[in-house]
Amino acid sequence: MTEVRDVVAAASQLTDAEFLEVVRAVAAGRPGLGALLAAVDVGAAIPAEDPVTAEVVSHIAPGVPEPDYTPGGVPTFDRVRERIEGRFGTAIGSSELAHDSPSGQSLDEAWEKREKAGKAKLDEIRRSLGKQ
């Protein structure tokens, strides 16, 4: 059987369209490679006019940690507290904005009408049972 490196070397010499055809041929009839076949079909639909190239980085040196993080990359308690307070403030603010908007006010009015109607119906049921 041919070495994997030889196959990779040969495949790297193919154009994108040729490579996709090879993958289609290999994946056809193999149920376990259905996702690969679907990915090939999606990849073939994407125009290759502007190919993306990327530089392979073998090792990324650790830099200076961000403020409010330990050298190991763990957030400090102050950082966690600030994020929680920020999210809490956002939640309270969005709730207040929702109630102050016209649609929020109409929902509040509809809720009050339902509450009144529910209380009236409960009173009517109690009167019919002779409890008032």
Predicted confidence pLDDT, tens digits, the chain (132 residues):
458 788 888 888 888 778 778 878 877 777 777 777 777 666 555 555 556 676 766 665 566 556 788 888 888 999 999 999 999 999 998 888 887 888 878 888 899 999 999 999 999 999 999 865
pTM (predicted TM-score): 0.33
User: What DSSP line would sit under 50-93, residue for residue?
Assistant: S-------S-PPP-PPPTTB-TTSPBPHHHHHHHHHHHHHHHHH
Domain spans of the chain? Answer: 4-44, 77-129
Both tokens of 46, joined, read 């994407």
Residue pair 123/132 in contact (Cβ under 8 Å)? The answer is: yes
Cα(118)–Cα(124) distance, integer angstroms: 10
Pick the closest to residue 95 from 84, 83, 108 (CA basis): 108
